[in-house]
Structure 1
Amino acid sequence: MPSPAERPEPRGFARCRDGCPYVTTGPIEVCYQCASERIRQPADPNCRICRQRLDAPGVACMNDLCGSPARQFERVEVIGLKSDELEQTIYQLKYWTEWEGRWGWCVIHARIVLGYLYANPAVCASVDAIIPNPGRPAVRKGQPSLDYIATTIEEAIKQDDHGLPFVLAPPLIVKTTETKRMREAEGKAARKAVGTELYNVLRVPEPARVHGKTIMVYDDVFTMGETLNAVARRLREAGAAKVVGLALARQPRW
């Protein structure tokens, strides 16, 4: 194993599959450092709940959910903003038709998630379970499909050497049928409607497994929080003590 000083340079985030020596075996710290150099952070001041940029310190967040009694999650932890290279890799993961290429981004994103959690241990110090946002893969035009959120957590479990409390199977919460995608909803009212639709098809198979627990829910993109809120509501109703979010990318201010 070469020392850090002897290691070759990575190709750069979003160029991972372009001959990077770490694409298949890269240490988490190398990949996370490489990605961190290109991932933009939420600007200050920002909302303590959703990390959205604020116009000035102390002003109310423009995200209505943050100040609403209907909010069921505590906060969302954000790894970076959905822009530049990070946005590019998320797009490729969602829309590339090549199966292996899409799966490969789950591996890289898992390293970024792990690197962030390792570098910020307080984020999950009191978390009892880290789970993927529940989804159901859909087959399109005969192509094999991918539940990329669950696959990212699966890859994180494979690569984790810190014993983080990931839970994948059996799932703590399940989505029983397909719903409209949040990215297809235009406007706040439409997004709230999709969140309600999602809530109605979520189930917690074994409430005893979440009772009294703090659950962290991972998703790739956080915008207004309607998806996370639907999941949190179901988990809280099943007895979860707290629900927090973990987002790979935060949609910049709408």
Structure 2
Amino acid sequence: MCPACRGEIEGLSGQPYCDRCGRFFSPVPAPEPRLCRDCRRVARPFECCRAYAPYEGVLCEAVHRLKYGRRRELAGPLGELLARTIRRYEAYSGADVLVPVPLSREAFRRRRFNQAELLAREIGGQLGIPVRSVLDKIRDTPAQAGLLRAARLTNLAGCFRFVDEPQTVRGRTVVVVDDVLTTGSTLSEAGRVLLETGASRVLGAVLVAARVQF
């Protein structure tokens, strides 16, 4: 990643965000407690989520190049940004395991890699946290980016299952890793399955998050 892009990306971080889902407020910071409208209305099965920066600008382009342009080498610098985010917040200090959000078999066949898993392995290598692909996506779903908000909230219901030994997460603090958070429905569904399997705490860590109004 060139110095110019790195400089622009650095300038995107540090913006006000929802204390629960991690989405960034627009256009102005909300008063304390800083919870977005969705998180005030709906209980989330995850404790909190944090993102490095909003889903815009050169960082948005970098994510698209990784996912759709198959530029797998971008997982290195992007994973570094996400590891930096996790280091920044005390909530993640007791993290036991990183769990990447899975792709469906059809999506994996088309892309040939899972960008969330690449990011998780970069984070795990830098922070010394094991990565476990314990979730499977049991049905293909329309891309969240192509759906209206109401459809996004129900699109992923029941689409994940736990496919490892329950001891992998039982009683542990699990961090679900993904590249983008829009409504939080993907993280919520993954968190629900992990808590039902026995995880004591579920947090999220995403590279970029959408903007949301207070």
1:191 corresponding residue in structure 2: 152
Structure 2 gap ranges (5+): none
Q: Structure 2: how far apart are the matches of 1:36 and 1:183?
A: 22
Alpha-carbon distance change, 200 to 104 in structure 1, aligned in 2, over 3 angstroms: closer
| TM-score of the two chains, using structure 1 as the length reference | 0.71
Secondary structure of 1:149's aligned partner = helix
Asked if residue 81 in structure 1 is aligned to residue 40 in structure 2, the reply is: no
More contact order relative to length (CA 8 Å, sep ≥ 6)? 2
Alpha-carbon distance change, 35 to 108 in structure 1, aligned in 2, over 3 angstroms: farther
2:81 corresponding residue in structure 1: 112
Match of 2:92 among 124, 129, 132: 124
Indicate conservation of the 8 Å contact 1:138/1:146, yes or no. yes
Match of 1:211 among 170, 174, 180: 170
Q: Structure 2: how far apart are the matches of 1:60 and 1:123?
A: 16
1:3 corresponding residue in structure 2: none
Identity of aligned residues (%): 24
Q: Structure 2: how far apart are the matches of 1:78 and 1:72?
A: 17
Letter in 1 for 2:2: R
Q: Structure 2: how far apart are the matches of 1:248 and 1:190?
A: 23
Of 82-91 and 50-59, more deviation after overlay is shown by 50-59
Asked if residue 134 in structure 1 is aligned to residue 102 in structure 2, the reply is: yes
Larger Rg: 1
Q: Structure 2: how far apart are the matches of 1:172 and 1:85?
A: 32
Match of 1:93 among 55, 63, 66: 66
Following superposition, the deviation at residue 145 of structure 1 comes to 2.7
Following superposition, the deviation at residue 50 of structure 1 comes to 1.9
Following superposition, the deviation at residue 229 of structure 1 comes to 0.3
Aligned length: 208
Asked if residue 166 in structure 1 is aligned to residue 137 in structure 2, the reply is: no
Secondary structure of 2:154's aligned partner = helix
Structure 1 gap ranges (5+): 1-9, 16-33
Alpha-carbon distance change, 66 to 193 in structure 1, aligned in 2, over 3 angstroms: same
Alpha-carbon distance change, 219 to 66 in structure 1, aligned in 2, over 3 angstroms: farther
Q: Structure 2: how far apart are the matches of 1:65 and 1:195?
A: 18
Alpha-carbon distance change, 201 to 106 in structure 1, aligned in 2, over 3 angstroms: same
| TM-score of the two chains, using structure 2 as the length reference | 0.83
1:233 corresponding residue in structure 2: 192
Asked if residue 242 in structure 1 is aligned to residue 201 in structure 2, the reply is: yes
Q: Structure 2: how far apart are the matches of 1:217 and 1:42?
A: 22
